[in-house]
Amino acid sequence: MKRTLAFSPSRPVWSLTRVCALSAWFLASSLVLMAETPRPEAGAASGGGLTMGTFDVDATPPVGSMMAYDPVTNRWDLGLRARGVILAGSGKPIVLCAVDWIGIGNGGQDVFKAAIANAAETIPERVAIHALHQHDAPDCDFSAEHLLRSEGLDPRQYEGTFQREVVSALASAVRRGVALAVPVTHVGLGVAPVHEVASNRRILGPDGKVRETRWTATKDPAVRAEPEGLIDPVVSLVSFWNDGKPIAALSYYATHPQSYYRLGMPSPDFPGLARFLRQLAIPEVLHVHFNGAGGNIGAGKYNDGSPGNRVVLAQRLADGMKRAWENTKKEPLSPSQVDWKVERVALPLPGHLTAEKLEAQMKAREASFFIAGGAAKLSWVRRVKAGHRSEVACLSLGTARVFHMPGELFVEYQLAAKALRPEDFVAMAGYGDYAPGYIGTAIAYEQGGYETSPSASNVAPEVEKVLMGAIKALLAK
């Protein structure tokens, strides 16, 4: 029997039609209000204290352009966003940006960070760019684009005309955000469990090996019925305040964001809908959502791929966000309590991933090279061999720590960071530089499964030691 997914009567489900009907009005009115109407004290001198500017631009690709998997054939009412905050007053400004794309990797990260840093009058090292990893969304890798063009090949999903337009729009929006910045006097910290959204994708057999992968849309009821598995069950919320007035709310939750996809229509999927519902509830606050360490986490236990489940999952996540907001505790925040530390690490390449092999596949025009994103892999290998170091960053806000990490991290990294500082608030944003692909734990590479296979992970098992070393070093500082 096909399983029907129900939602608790205590949490009324909005229909997708109703959500989309409201979206056009809300986005048009709220963006004009937020972007063009100065808030009280906007641009006012902070007396040497902290200030915050916000930015929000449309990141929806036009009809005819390529997304990660398919060309754009149409658009939903609710499009993709690129939004974030500029926190200034403690050293050079810090910029946090979340984009509704599948990933931004290699040279894509370089270009985004450089443009935003220039606009915010800071340095690229103090800019964090993260994707939310929706699949009906663009990919961005300017290194892969350049590589394919230099070989006379079609860049396909890496064609970057639209992506560069978004970079330019973001730079302009960041400049406006800086000009309209308001004082920050308090930080708010809140957490709440999210019910029936996330589940572990890797189901182990008696031999300790992966026997089933529970994809984000799982048709098989027997696989859905498997235990939820290891997840981080809470959404974490960081909010910034000008005395009693909220400025921005940043949420962090670890899961793959797919409900269903490959329709040819760009979609922010259920995390974007959840963020939108919170924007409706508190329109004066910019809501920015980050995907956590969700590489081995998805909604497969609670999602069979039926279109109606997108709204169900969105409501459940929005409900958790709402309770985290209600649970928020505000604390005064001074410049001396804000810090940004970065560890630059060499992520180890796996033995199967070599420039020579990838170059040969490209020269031979092997289909597998293009299907598996070979241009991005080859660009990554070349960068690492040339001495590239990946950035692991930590934002300190009083006793709170927020990590900014590369790749599709397994949830174990997020849980380990929290366990190292159990008395404090710790959150994590994953899906920074997309180039490393999945980043498993050392044992996960022995267990098998898709995520740690040669086609999915561009790092070696030793990556756990490297990243955990960086996390421990940042917490020690």
Residue 363 lies in a domain: no
Residue 319 lies in a domain: yes
Q: Encoding tokens for residue 368?
A: 């597998």
- The structure's pTM equals 0.91
Helix axes of 355-363 and 374-385: crossing angle, nearest 10 degrees: 140
pLDDT at 38 (0 to 100): 38
Per the document, the length of the chain is 477
Closest CA to 247 of 184, 189, 333: 184
For residues 427-456, average pLDDT: 98
Closest CA to 240 of 352, 397, 457, 63: 397
Residue 10 lies in a domain: no
Residue 258 lies in a domain: yes
pLDDT at 31 (0 to 100): 41
* 338-382 tens-digit pLDDT: 999 999 999 999 999 999 999 999 999 999 999 999 999 999 999
Coil, strand or helix: which one is 323?
helix
Coil, strand or helix: which one is 51?
strand
For residues 140-162, average pLDDT: 97
Residue 206 lies in a domain: yes
Residue 371 lies in a domain: no
Residue 271 lies in a domain: yes
For residues 382-386, average pLDDT: 98
Helix axes of 411-420 and 463-476: crossing angle, nearest 10 degrees: 30
For residues 301 and 180, what is the distance between their CA atoms, to the nearest angstrom?
A: 44
Over 80: is that where the pLDDT of 44 sits? Answer: no
287 close to 325: Cβ distance less than 8 angstroms? no
For residues 172-180, average pLDDT: 98
Coil, strand or helix: which one is 141?
coil
User: Residue 432: pLDDT band by 50, 70, 90 thresholds?
Assistant: very high
pLDDT at 458 (0 to 100): 98
How many domains does the chain fold into? Answer: 1
Residue 54 lies in a domain: yes
User: Residue 35: pLDDT band by 50, 70, 90 thresholds?
Assistant: very low
For residues 196-201, average pLDDT: 98
* 202-249 tens-digit pLDDT: 999 999 999 999 999 999 999 999 999 999 999 999 999 999 999 999
pLDDT at 76 (0 to 100): 87
* 288-337 tens-digit pLDDT: 999 999 999 999 999 999 999 999 999 999 999 999 999 999 999 999 99
Between the CA atoms of 454, 460, 464 and 467, what dihedral angle is there, to the nearest 10 degrees?
-110
Rounded percentage of the chain residues whose pLDDT exceeds 70: 90
Q: What is the mean pLDDT of the chain?
A: 92
H or E element, residue 275: helix 269-281
Closest CA to 302 of 316, 290, 291: 316
pLDDT at 48 (0 to 100): 76
Which runs of E-coded beta strand occur in 141-209? 182-184, 186-193, 199-200, 202-204
* 5-23 tens-digit pLDDT: 332 323 333 444 344 444 4
Tell me which residue range forms the domain holding 132: 16-344+387-476
Q: Is the dihedral of CA 117, 118, 122, 124 positive or negative?
A: positive
